[in-house]
């Protein structure tokens, strides 16, 4: 379900740094996080999302999340923009 949501999203941001920027500027409607991504890398983003009450969904694979975004590399996190 979440892979489809990512693939169909009109505006999305891929990657930790870009997601952090989008969260800081309050542009994020929802986050999708790969279960196999490093929690150390995502800690700051997930903390900010929790503080801002941004819903977080999880998928099982960074590789599949990257493909859902239309990129040829793995993706740890995707932000669906408002």
pLDDT of residue 7: 92
Give whole-number Cα distances, 72 to 20, 38, 67, in Å. 22, 19, 6
| Closest to 33 in 3D by CA, of 9, 49, 53, 21 | 49
Cβ–Cβ < 8 Å for 5, 29: no
Nearest-5° Cα angle at 10, 20 to 2: 70
Cβ–Cβ < 8 Å for 65, 32: yes
| Model confidence pTM above 0.85 | yes
d(CA 28, CA 55): 9
pLDDT of residue 1: 59
Based on the structure, what is the number of domains in the chain?
1
pLDDT of residue 45: 95
Give the CATH number, domain containing residue 38: 3.30.1330.30
Which range marks the domain in which residue 18 is found?
2-81
- pLDDT tens, residue order, the chain (82 aa): 589 999 999 999 999 999 999 999 999 999 999 999 998 989 999 999 999 999 999 999 999 999 999 999 999 999 999 9
């Amino acid at each position: 379900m979440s892979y489809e949501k990512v693939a169909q999203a009109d505006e999305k941001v891929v990657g930790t740094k870009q997601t952090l920027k989008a969260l800081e500027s309050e542009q994020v409607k929802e986050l999708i996080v790969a279960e196999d991504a490093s929690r150390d890398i995502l800690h700051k983003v997930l903390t900010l999302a929790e503080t801002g009450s941004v819903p977080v969904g999880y998928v099982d694979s960074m590789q599949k999340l990257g493909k859902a975004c239309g990129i040829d590399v793995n993706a740890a996190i995707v932000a669906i923009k408002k």
